[in-house]
Copies of this chain bind each other. A is one copy, B any other.
Amino acid sequence: MINKPEFSIPEPTLRRLPRYYNYLKELLKSGREIVSCTHIGKDLDLDPPQIRKDLAYTGIRGVPKVGYQIEVLLNSIEEFFGWNNMDEAFLVGVGNMGRALIDYQGFRRYGFKIVAAFDNSPDIIGKTFGGVEVLPLSKLTNLCSRMNIKIGVITTPDHAAQEAADMMIAGGIIGIWNFAPAEIRTPEGVIVQNENLATGLAVLSKKLQILKQSGKFRQEVDQ
């Protein structure tokens, strides 16, 4: 459907890199300067060769038997993702999820900032959440193109997601981060990243099922 460009970097790698980044930030804060893949693997429960491979995608190599300088590694990941260039985004749908995303200061670390939010409800329009004003949905398309916004976040209910996407795309948005549990149809040249919250839950519940069947799970502490 989408004529997608070649993404030669595997998505699991892309998903692990931010995790390394957060972990390395903490490690640096705790006073450490050098780290090995073995050490990272032990702390994050991952295979060291996989970690080495993941990190190599950012263009960095460790020194054999020594490891990586954490500071250099952090810079390498930042540059890889382009986190030094701030991306401004619009959000549509100011319910709990929308507010959670607006409030989540952690995104700044990733060069990402929600600069305006849009909703249909008169109860919310004009209010401010986390310094971000809620504007009427009718202004979305126009403001997108005027402010040259390229990323849109959808946190609407299911049935309103496609309309929000269409308005975003009409305004020139090319990257949509979709939290609504609905598949969005988009024209060629627009990327949709679906964030289905229930996915993590499904993975967890399947792992628990297997754990219970294996009989290896932890018994109540006070038995």
Q: Which residues of A contact B (CB under 8 A)?
A: 1-7, 9, 11-12, 14-15, 17-19, 22-23, 26, 42-45, 80-83, 87, 95-97, 99-101, 103-104, 106-107, 109-112, 145, 150-151, 169-172, 174-175, 177, 181-183, 187-191, 193-211, 214, 216-222
Contact = CB atoms under 8 A, between A and B. Distances in A.
- Cβ-closest 7 pairs across A and B: A189-B218, A96-B100, A193-B204, A97-B100, A5-B214, A172-B220, A96-B99
B205 A82 contact: yes
Given A18-B199, A172-B219, 10 more contacts: A14-B206, A22-B183, A26-B183, A81-B209, A82-B209, A95-B103, A96-B103, A99-B100, A172-B218, A193-B207
Contacts of A198: 18, 106-107, 109-110, 112
Nearest to A208: B175
Contacts of A189: 211, 216-218
B5 A211 contact: yes
Given A5-B216, A7-B207, A200 B193 contact: yes
A18 B196 contact: yes
Contact of A208 (B23, B191, B205): B191
A54 to B, nearest CB: 12
Contacts of A188: 218
Contact of A19 (B23, B81, B170, B196): B196
B201 A177 contact: yes
A42 B196 contact: no
Contacts of A96: 96-97, 99-100, 103
A222 B1 CA distance: 23
Given A45-B2, A174-B217, A201-B177, A207 B183 contact: no
A207 B192 CA distance: 10
A135 B148 CA distance: 45
B205 A110 contact: yes
A169 B50 CA distance: 30
A109 to B, nearest CB: 8
A28 to B, nearest CB: 14
